[in-house]
Chains A and B, each alone.
Chain A
Amino acid sequence: MGKPEWEREYVEYVSGRLPRLHRAAYLLCADTFQADDIVQATLASLYLGWRRAVRADNLDAYVHRILVRRYLDERRRPWARVLLGDRVPETPIEAGPGYEERDSLMTALRALPKGQRAVIVLRYFSDLSVEATAEALGCSAGNVKSQCSRGLTALRVTLGETTTLGGTGWQA
């Protein structure tokens, strides 16, 4: 009596994508706990719709659409807010500035409007095409392009102010 075949497929897919999805979620929200919440909710939601999801033309775009929606909707989940204080981190938080503070790109990313940040993360981290990004965000391809361009400009400006860029690229 094993798991149904589709559950095995689901677990396989999730195993392969979890680190990337988690990183994408963190880049979006810049918060350790919230990133876990977003990924958790995304995976639960994906499970619910798995049999439909696997038939999607672009499963990754489908998953990112859920992920982004969870991110954008985060503030509206009542229970998440009510119980937020009850989880004590299992790993001690390092003293001094948080992860995000040590990272100028993260800081710059956080300064972007939510939608623009989502476009940047989906396009340049999750490697979705312009069309797939548009589909995930429910906007037009033209909108994705203009947001990309604005986001890139903003990141360049912010980083120019806060850090010195070496010739080798954006340092973490």
Chain B
Amino acid sequence: MAGVSDERRLREGLEAIAVPATRIRVEAVLPAARKQRFRRNAARTAAGAALAVGVLVAVPAVLLRPSAATPLPAQRPSSSPSPSPAAVACRMTKLPFPEGLDNAVAEGVDPTGRYVVGNGTEGQDFRPVLWTGGRAVALPLNADSVQATAVNAAGVVVGLATRDNRDTVFRFAGGRYTELKLPKGRWHPYPEPAINAAGDVVINAEPQGNSGGEGVIALLWPAGSTDAVRLPLPEGAHVVDILDDGRMAGGIYQDGSAHTPYVWDRQGRGQKLRVPSGHTGTAYAISGDWVTGGIWEPGSAALWNLRTGDLTQTKGDQNPGMSVNASGWLTDGEGQVIRNGKATRMPSGGGRKVAYANDISDTGLVVGHVVDERTDAEGQELRDAGGTIPKAPQFPATWQC
């Protein structure tokens, strides 16, 4: 019988189990949590890792793990747990690893689908990769960590380079890097640069040492220029993406949290995007007539139509829209593709493989990666073997939908 003594013995037993020491330090929790707050509101999926690497290098390795900077997982898929016909119709192609790298994730695609950028990792550092028509090239390294974050139809790549824990913005074209200069003073650029067809680049910067966007400025490097233009935007304004006509998507932040999503032009004229009353939101990506982003609480994926002003929400738990194409398809924080309000996961090749979509071109090319999830038993075996646990097998891929 399940007597009181059983319960007591169980309590004592649970107290007595030998638990390995935690590497989390109380004093490091707060900075990491602040970053998470910013991440939740301002960065895109891959930027979680970028922020962590760029900003938290001085803290214990456990805090560098991007997991804390990942959008909080949804309790359930937003809809349709089984693959819809739409998902089945998308054909997967594995992308090769470039020479010298045995891991990489495809994170961005240009609107035409010709160029794909992504990153491998080595230790805590990024290693940038450019796929052109499916052929992989590892971009040269000129910093401790180089992260490619976006590419345009001309094959111009932008990203962040980290040297001695300082981030700078770069443009990579014609085989060489050009540093895009930050304004005078000490600025930290974040979350990651975006580029349009013409080659205009945008990002935000905050005074070094700040977190959560206090004192943020929004920056634009017009195509070909290396001098930043400070955009005439209201206090707390962040820009995260730029349209070919020069309009920029982002939002106004208050106390480090996303408040109101906006689209601005270069003169600072803004179009406020609709948010249901009592909620807050921000935009993360813009393409054609479409803008995607998040609405809190609870963190739905939002899709705004710039012409009609209409808002479509796909319910999720901390699962905002991360990228969008000119047809209004988007990817969400869980790596699903949302079309017509219906979230689906890309086909992964079966077994225990799970596909994660990171970006979509206007031609319907989805880019991302596939992870071969371990069984509990395999994970246990690896842990028992001791030492470093190897990555779960994963590969970069595209899906033509």
The chain A residues found within 8 Å of chain B, CB to CB, are 3, 7, 10-11, 14-15, 18-19, 22-23, 26-27, 30-33, 35-37, 39-41, 43-48, 69, 73, 75-91, 93-95, 97-103, 105-106, 110, 120-121, 124-125, 149, 152-153, 155-156, 165, 169-172
Cβ-defined contact, A44 with B383, below 8 A:
no
B9's nearest neighbour on chain A, judged by CB, is A169
B75 and A69 form a contact (CB under 8 A): yes
Separation in Å of the B3 CB from the closest CB of chain A? 10
Q: Are A170 and B12 in contact (CB under 8 A)?
A: yes
User: Which chain A residues border B160 with CB–CB below 8 Å?
Assistant: none
Q: How far is the CB of B193 from chain A (nearest CB, A)?
A: 20
Looking at B14, B371, B391, which has the most chain A CB atoms within 10 Å of its CB?
B14
Say which one of B65-73, B128-136, B285-293 lies at the interface with A.
B65-73
* Residues on the B chain within 8 Å of A100, using CB: 383
Chain A min CB distance to B125 (Å): 9
Q: How many A-B residue pairs have CB under 8 A?
A: 207
A113 → B minimal CB distance (Å): 11
Looking at chain B, what size class is its interface with the partner chain? 35 or more
**Closest A residue, CB atoms, query B255:** A4
Closest to B103 in A: A82
Cβ 8 A contact of B24, one of A36, A73, A170: A36
Q: What are the nearest 7 A-B pairs in CB distance?
A: A170-B13, A85-B391, A47-B33, A44-B36, A172-B16, A93-B386, A80-B67
Query: Which B114-156 residues have a C-beta within 8 angstroms of A?
Result: 121, 123-124
State whether A89 and B388 are in contact (beta carbons under 8 Å apart), knowing that A14-B26, A73-B73, A124-B14 are contacts in the complex: yes
- Expressed in whole angstroms, the minimum distance between the Cβ of B20 and any Cβ of chain A is 5
B384 at the A interface (CB under 8 A) = yes
B19→A41 contact, CB < 8 A: no
CA distance A95 to B391 in the complex (A): 21
Tell me whether A14 and B29 are in contact in the complex, defined as CB-CB below 8 angstroms, given that A40-B63, A40-B65, A81-B392 are known contacts. yes
How far apart sit A82 and B386, CA to CA, in the bound complex (Å)?
19
CA distance A83 to B65 in the complex (A): 8
Q: How far is the CB of B8 from chain A (nearest CB, A)?
A: 8
> Which chain A residue lies CB-closest to B28?
A40
At the interface, yes or no: B335 with Cβ under 8 Å from chain A? yes
- CB < 8 Å: which of B6, B15, B379 contacts A31? B379
Give every chain A residue within 8 A of B67 (Cβ-Cβ). 37, 40-41, 77, 79-80
CB distance from A70 to the nearest CB of B (A): 8
Q: Which residues of B contact A105 (CB under 8 A)?
A: 13-14, 16-17
Q: How far is the CB of A119 from chain B (nearest CB, A)?
A: 12
Tell me if A103 and B17 are in contact (CB < 8 A): yes
A27–B14 Cα distance when bound, in Å, is 8
Question: Is there contact, CB below 8 Å, between B30 and A10?
Answer: yes
16 A-B pairs in the complex with CB atoms less than 8 angstroms apart: A11-B26, A14-B26, A22-B22, A27-B14, A41-B67, A43-B24, A47-B34, A83-B391, A84-B390, A87-B388, A88-B61, A90-B23, A98-B384, A99-B19, A124-B7, A171-B13
Which residues on the A side are within 8 Å of B69 (C-beta)?
79
* Contact present for B386 and A95 (CB under 8 Å): yes
> Whole-angstrom distance from the CB of A7 to the nearest CB of chain B?
7
